[in-house]
Structure 1
Amino acid sequence: MTIVNKIPRYILPYPVIYFFVNFINGLTIPIIVIYYRYVGLNLFQIGLVSTIFELSIFILEIPTGFIADKFGRRFSILLSFLSFSVSGILYFLIRNIIGIMCASIMQGIGYTFISGSLQAWAIDTLKQNGDDSYIKSTIVSGTQSRRIGSLLGSVVGGYLGIKNINILWYFYIFLGFAAMVYSYIFVREKREKFLNNETKFSIKNLLYLDEISKVFIEKDKIIFITAILLFIISAIYEFSLSPVDEYWTVLFSEDLKISTFIIGLIAAISNIILIVSVAPIVNYLNKRLKDITAFLVVTILIICSLVLLASVKMVLISILVFILFRLFTGVYEPIMEYYLNGLLNDQYRATMLSVYSMAGSIGEILSGISIGAIAENKGINMAFYAGAISLSFELILFFIITKMQNMNIEHSR
C-alpha cells in the first residue's frame, strides 16, 4: 500500500509550502480564542473578529487570484507569507480590538494570496514539463501535507501557549519569513503563461458570462456549465460541513460528556488516519471509478456520516463516525480539485481557483447565519441534519453534470 504518492522533485515545493501554511496557522488553533479573552475581548468582539476574517477572505479572493495570474504565482506566494508574518507582528504588538481586527484581516489576506496561486503554479508547472500524469498525485500530496502541518502546528501551538504565548508569536513570525525565503529560492516558474500588461482586473467584467467563459477550456458550453455547477457545489459543500466544523467539540463535550483531552486525541487520530489513508483510497477510486462517480460515492458517505453524527448517542460509535467523516471529507478534496483543474485553462487558473474558494466562503458565511440559528434554537443535532439535507442537493447537481456529459458524448459520436 502506497501511503505517499511519488511526485517529481521539482514540484516538491507544493506540499512543502502547504505544510508551512498549515503549520504556521495551526499554531494558533488551540490558543487563539483564549488569547482573545486574555487581551480583553468580549464574546461579541470575538464574533466580530471572526466575521471580519471571513469577509476579508470573501472580498479579496478574486483580486489576489488576479494578482497571481498577472504578476506571477511565486510573487503571490511570497506576499502570502509576508502577510502571515505581519499578522503575527500585529497580534503580538497591538493587544486591543483594533490590533486584533487588523491582524485578522492580514491573516485573511495571507490565505487569499495562497489559495489559488500555489495550486495554479503546481498544475501549470507539471503541464509545462509534460508531467500531466502526476497532477492527481501532486494534489493528494498537498492534502496530506496540509493535515500534517495543521496537526503538528496545533500540538506545538498548544504547548507554546501553555509555556509562553510571546514565544509562540515569535515563532509564528519567524516561520512566515522562513517560508517566504524558501518559496523565493525553490519556486520556479515560466512567465509566458501570465496575463499581459493590457489585461485589467474588473469585478464587473467577471460577472458577465462571456467574460467568465474565457476562463475555462473553450471546447463547448457543457464544460462551462459544468464549472458553474461546481462553484455552486463548493458553496453547498462548505455550507453543509460548517455545522460539524463549528460544533462537533460542543456535541462531544456537552452531549456525550467526553473530556477535553479525549477530544484532542480524537482530532489527532482522525488527522493521522487521513494522512495515511488518503493516497491509497484516491488511487483506488481513480482506478475503479470515474471522477464524477467517485464524487457521488464520497458525497453519499459524507451525508450518511452527518446523519449518524446527529442521531447516534453511543460514545464509541459517535467517535468512529466522526473519524470516518473526516476521512471522507479528506478524500473528497483532491478528487474535486483534480476534476476542477481539468476544466480551467492555464492563463486564468489562479483567479478561478480563488473564485472557487470564494464560493466556499459564501457557503460558510450563509451557514454561520442560518445553521448557527438552528443550532441555538433547535439543537446541534438538528444543525447536523440540516447539513445532511443541504448536502443532498449536491447529488442532484452531480446527476445533472453526469447527464450533460453523457449527452455530450452521444452528440460527438
Structure 2
Amino acid sequence: MLPAAFHIYALFRGLSLGLYIPVSLTFLNDHHCPSLHIGLLGTCFELIKFITAIPIGRWADCCGPRGPLMLSGLIGGLLWLLFFLGDHTLYVYYSCTALLGIAEACMSGSLESWITNCVTKSTVTATILRNTSIMMITSIIAGFLSIPLYQYSPLYCCLLLSLANFAKAIIPLLSSSVVCISKNYTHALTFSTALLEGVCMVYQTRKLRVVICSIFFVTMACDMALRYYELYLRQRGFAMTYTGYVTGSAGILALLMLLLVTRYKQILRYRPFWIIVGIDIIGAIICYLLAFSTLSTVVYISLTILLGLEDIRSPIVKALLAETIYDAQHKALIFSLFVLVESAGEILAGTLFGYIIAGYGLQVGFSISILLFLFSACIYVIDYMVYRLKNTF
C-alpha cells in the first residue's frame, strides 16, 4: 500500500511535466518573448531553487516530506492559472517563474526522501526506476497531446495543468506514508550543523563527490537543449506540432532505455559510472549532429535522442544517490545539495546561453554543449583512473 501513493504522485507529476515543457515554450514564443528573456526566465527559476533548496531539504528531514510536497502542488496549481490568465508582460512571467521555482524546490529531494524512507535498501533502486517509468508514461501521453490541445484551447491546457498540480497537493495529504522521516534522524541538530554534516558526507564519499562535480557540466548542456529546442525546430522549418512530438518521442525513447536499465539493474549497481559515461559521450555526438547537420530527419532524431538522454540520466543518478545515502539521516538535505549544484549549472547556462544564442545563434550553443558533455565524461574517467592507481600501489 505504501508504494501506491508515490506511484500515483508520479502519474500526475508526469502529466504536468509533459504539458508544461512544450506548452510554456510555445506560449512564450507565440507572445513574442525575446530569446534572451526565455533564457533569463530559466535563470530566475533556477536562482529561486538555488536559494530555497537547502532550507526546504532541512524542513523535509525534520518534519517529513508531506509539507513540502503539498506546498509544491498548491503553488503550481494556482500559478498556472495566473501564468495563462494574467497579463502577458515580463513582470508576470518573472513573478510566476520565481514562485514556480519554490514549488520545484519543494518537490526536489522530498519525493526521493519519501521513497527511501518507505522501502528497503535492496529495493530502493528498482522503486525509483519504476516510479520514473510511471512518470514517463504519462509524460509521453501528455507530450503528444500538448500542442494539439494548446491549439484547440490554451485555457484547457491551463486548467489541466492546474488540476494536475492540485492533485499533487492532495495525494500527500491523504497518504500516511509521506509523514515518515529517517529512522536515524536527530532533531536536536542545528541547521548549520546538519548542513556541515551533509557537505562532509558528500566530500568523503567517492560516488557522491564524482557525481556532484560532473552534474554541473551536464546540467548546463541539457538545460540549453531543453530551453531552446522549440526555437531550434522553428528555425529549421518544423511545424508547431513537432514541439509536442519531439517531447513525446523523447519520452518513449527514455522509457525504453529505462526499462532496459531496470531489466539489467545489476549492471547499474556495479557499473553505474560506465553507464553515465556512455550517456555523456552519446550526448556530445548528438550535439555535434544538431550543430552541423542540415538534414531534417537527422535533426528530428538527434533532438529526440538528446532530450531522451536527459530523461534517462537523471533517474539513474538519483537511484545511485538514494542507494548510497540510504542510511544517512540527512537524506533530503543531501538531495537538496545536488539540486543546489544543478541549479547553479542552470543559472549559469540560462545567462551564458541566453547571450550566446542571442548574439551568435544556436549552432554555437550546441558546439559549447559538446564540450560540456565531454568535460563530464572526463571527470568520471579521471576519477576511475585515480581510483585504480590508488588500489594498485
Q: TM-score range by the shorter chain?
A: 0.7 to 0.9
Check conservation: 2:198, 2:333, Cα contact below 8 A.
no
Tell me the number of residue pairs that the alignment of Structure 1 and Structure 2 aligns.
Answer: 389
Name 2:299's counterpart in structure 1. 318
> Is residue 2:329 matched to residue 1:347?
yes
Q: 1:56 to 1:149 in 2, by over 3 A?
A: farther
Give 1:60 shift.
1.0
Q: Aligned letter for 1:78? A: M
Give 1:281 shift.
3.7
Q: Aligned letter for 2:377? A: L
Match of 1:273 among 244, 248, 253: 253
Structure 2 CA distance for aligned equivalents of residues 36 and 58 of structure 1? 24
Q: 1:286 to 1:373 in 2, by over 3 A?
A: farther
Structure 2 CA distance for aligned equivalents of residues 29 and 43 of structure 1? 16
SS of equivalent residue, structure 1 residue 27: helix
Structure 2 CA distance for aligned equivalents of residues 273 and 76 of structure 1? 31
Instruction: Give the gaps of 5 or more residues in structure 2.
Output: none
> Is residue 2:210 matched to residue 1:232?
no
Q: Which moved more, 1:319-328 or 1:75-84?
A: 319-328
* Cα deviation digits, residues 164-223 of structure 1 (max 9, x gap): 444444443333333322222235053463744433324x984x5x6621x45xxxx751
Check conservation: 2:84, 2:155, Cα contact below 8 A.
yes
Give 1:239 shift.
0.9
1:6-17 equivalences in 2 (<5 Å): 10-17=2-9
Name 1:291's counterpart in structure 2. 272
Higher radius of gyration, 1 or 2: 1
Identical-residue share of aligned pairs (%):
19
Give 1:21 shift.
2.3
Give 1:407 shift.
5.7
> Is residue 2:361 matched to residue 1:379?
yes
Check conservation: 2:45, 2:98, Cα contact below 8 A.
yes
Name 1:63's counterpart in structure 2. 55
Give 1:154 shift.
4.1
Check conservation: 2:141, 2:248, Cα contact below 8 A.
no
Structure 1 CA distance for aligned equivalents of residues 272 and 39 of structure 2? 38
Give 1:90 shift.
3.8
Structure 2 CA distance for aligned equivalents of residues 258 and 192 of structure 1? 49
Q: 1:363 to 1:406 in 2, by over 3 A?
A: same
Q: Which moved more, 1:24-33 or 1:295-304?
A: 24-33
1:3-402 equivalences in 2 (<5 Å): 10-32=2-24, 49-91=41-83, 94-95=86-87, 97=89, 98-127=91-120, 132-155=121-144, 157-188=146-177, 189-191=179-181, 193=183, 195-202=185-192, 206=195, 212-213=199-200, 215-216=201-202, 222-223=204-205, 226-255=207-236, 257-284=237-264, 286-287=266-267, 290-344=271-325, 345-402=327-384
Name the TM-score, length of structure 1 as normaliser.
Answer: 0.81
Check conservation: 1:243, 1:371, Cα contact below 8 A.
yes
Q: Aligned letter for 2:372? A: S
Q: Aligned letter for 2:105? A: T
Structure 2 CA distance for aligned equivalents of residues 16 and 398 of structure 1? 35
Q: Aligned letter for 1:359? A: V
Check conservation: 1:26, 1:151, Cα contact below 8 A.
yes
Structure 2 CA distance for aligned equivalents of residues 50 and 296 of structure 1? 27
SS of equivalent residue, structure 1 residue 342: helix
Q: Which moved more, 1:379-388 or 1:289-298?
A: 289-298
Check conservation: 1:90, 1:100, Cα contact below 8 A.
no
Structure 1 CA distance for aligned equivalents of residues 69 and 95 of structure 2? 20
Q: 1:152 to 1:126 in 2, by over 3 A?
A: same
Give 1:391 shift.
1.8
Q: 1:234 to 1:347 in 2, by over 3 A?
A: same
Structure 2 CA distance for aligned equivalents of residues 134 and 400 of structure 1? 30
Q: 1:277 to 1:169 in 2, by over 3 A?
A: same
Name the TM-score, length of structure 2 as normaliser.
Answer: 0.85
Q: Aligned letter for 1:243? A: M
Give 1:234 shift.
1.4
Q: Which moved more, 1:66-75 or 1:39-48?
A: 39-48
